[in-house]
């Protein structure tokens, strides 16, 4: 398998071995575990300014990555069905794609700060299994992506995801501004966009596998199957999150409505009973006085 690795990236930062990437992931998970214990009896940090800057940087970075990938994809006249990786060191656009995909991979390390901010702000409800699984696996899986397929059909997945992240981190940046929060009604649609991207990537990877198995493309089949499995996991986990976050919310709203209605009915009944009792008492007093 090592003989199939892209020789262009061998000496790039963090690319010579998977150990540094795995070690950074272990440190990330250890920080989450220890950090939550340390912060348990401490006041949460505000961090509004750093979070705003952080999100703005990620919007800019993902915008650049998306532009580099899409522009090179078009200039190389690549196909949406399947593309092998062009490892020619003299091909300018192929090199641009490889560099952009490396930055895409490294952005997954930068995004560990999402969770760091949650820990420091004591937003423990945000640190779900889905959150930790997605962040820790993406960084490691895309190390493999850069090492073996920094181009070809992988360009489509990285371009789509970086485009979604432009929207996502724009939302987070706006959410860091208190005056903007009442206007952020579209959070559920952001989750829908995230789910849609997984279906699109699943379809793109499936086409690449069909073309590869038919002998019309030289994309790595094992990488395609691994990506399909990961997309199935993401669709399942994000669908479960969406159902819990929004369908359950409707259920709570309906229950609250029913509770309010019951409370109103009880109050009305009590008021009627009180009024009747007062009238009866008044009639007794009149009779007694006569």
What does the pLDDT look like over 75-100, one tens digit per residue?
999 999 999 999 999 999 999 999 99
Task: Say if CB 216 and CB 222 are below 8 A apart.
Answer: no
Catalytic positions, please?
A: 134
Percent over 70 (pLDDT), the chain: 84
pLDDT score of 3: 67
Where is average pLDDT lowest: 128-132, 213-217, 252-256? 252-256
Query: How many Å is the Cα radius of gyration of the chain?
Result: 28
pLDDT classification of 250: cutoffs 50, 70, 90: low
pLDDT for 262 beyond 50? no
pLDDT in tens, 17-55: 999 999 999 999 999 999 999 999 999 999 999 999 999
Q: What is the DSSP string of 258-283?
A: HHHHHHHHHHHHHHHHHHHHHHHHHH
Number of H helices, E strands in the chain: 9, 0
Tens digits of residue pLDDT in 170-200? 999 999 898 998 899 998 999 999 999 999 9
Kindly give, in sequence order, each residue whose CB lies less than 8 Å from that of residue 100, ignoring residues fewer than 6 positions away: 64, 65, 68, 69, 72, 158
Number of Cβ within a 10 Å radius of residue 175: 15
HSE toward the beta carbon, residue 5, CA cutoff 13 A:
17
pTM of the model: 0.84
Tell me: pLDDT of 120 over 50: yes
């Amino acid at each position: 398998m090592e003989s199939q690795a892209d020789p262009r990236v061998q000496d790039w930062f963090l690319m010579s071995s998977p150990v540094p990437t795995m070690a950074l992931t272990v440190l990330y998970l250890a920080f989450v575990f220890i950090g939550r214990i340390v912060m348990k009896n401490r006041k949460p940090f505000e961090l509004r300014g750093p979070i705003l800057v952080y999100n703005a940087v990620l919007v800019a970075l993902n915008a650049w990555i998306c532009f580099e990938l899409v522009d090179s994809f078009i200039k190389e006249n690549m196909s949406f069905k399947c593309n092998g990786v062009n490892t020619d060191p003299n091909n300018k656009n192929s090199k641009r794609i490889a560099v952009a995909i490396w930055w895409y991979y490294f952005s997954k390390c930068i995004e560990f700060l999402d969770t760091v901010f949650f820990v420091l702000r004591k937003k423990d409800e945000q640190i779900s299994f889905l959150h930790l699984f997605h962040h820790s696996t993406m960084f490691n899986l895309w190390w493999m992506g850069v090492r073996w397929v920094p181009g070809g059909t992988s360009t489509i997945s990285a371009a789509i995801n970086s485009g979604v992240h432009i929207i996502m981190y724009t939302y987070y940046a706006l959410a860091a501004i208190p005056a903007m929060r009442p206007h952020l009604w579209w959070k559920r649609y952001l989750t829908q966009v995230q789910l849609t991207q997984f279906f699109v990537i699943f379809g793109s990877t499936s086409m690449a596998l069909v073309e590869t198995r038919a002998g019309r493309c030289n994309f790595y089949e094992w990488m395609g199957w691994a990506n399909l499995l990961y997309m199935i996991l993401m669709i399942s986990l994000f669908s479960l999150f969406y159902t819990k976050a929004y369908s359950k919310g409707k259920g709570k709203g309906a229950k609250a409505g029913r509770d309010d209605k019951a409370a109103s009915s009880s109050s009305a009944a009590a008021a009627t009973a009180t009024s009747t009792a007062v009238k009866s008492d008044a009639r007794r007093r009149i009779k007694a006085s006569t």
